[in-house]
Amino acid sequence: MSETQLVSAILEALELEPGVVAWRNNTGLMYSGGRAIRYGLGKGSPDIVCCILPWGRFLGLEAKVEDGILSADQGRWRDKLRKGGGGSYFVVRSVADARRAVVEARRLPMTRPARDQEASSDKLSRSSEVKSRSVTRRR
């Protein structure tokens, strides 16, 4: 079975999973009007992205056949997601692995981002509020 066939089989199986929304994450580069345009979640992102309902937890599934291993970009993507909290990432080699990943993702507690990330997002929120107030005043 090829990786493409594995991804298709997993997506078909996940359609039957209650509370799971899943889609193929195509990534790449295309050219339009002489410009290169990237699409997808970026280099190294998982083959399948899922939203586990009802709380909207992110689940990334990287499909690998037989003895396939993660690339450096895929490893970085996995590490960022795990460090940030709120999401899960699994390498899956079968439909059964994907189903187990969904069960595991449902069991894992939601974690908060590291304190410095939290502070950065708080600053960004306050900065956006200030900008929106100043734009409103100008009108």
Nearest to 105, CA basis, from 59, 42, 44: 59
Q: Cα(79)–Cα(121) distance, rounded to whole angstroms?
A: 19
Where along the chain do its domains lie? 3-108, 114-139
Which architecture characterizes domain 3-108 according to CATH? 3-Layer(aba) Sandwich (3.40)
pLDDT tens per residue, range 35-92: 999 999 999 999 999 999 988 899 999 999 988 999 999 999 999 988 887 789 999 9
Round to the nearest angstrom and report the end-to-end CA distance of the chain.
Answer: 61
The b/e string for 53-69 (b: 16+ C-beta within 10 A; e otherwise) is eeeebbbbbbbbeeeee
Sequence letter at residue 10: I
**pLDDT value, residue 84:** 82
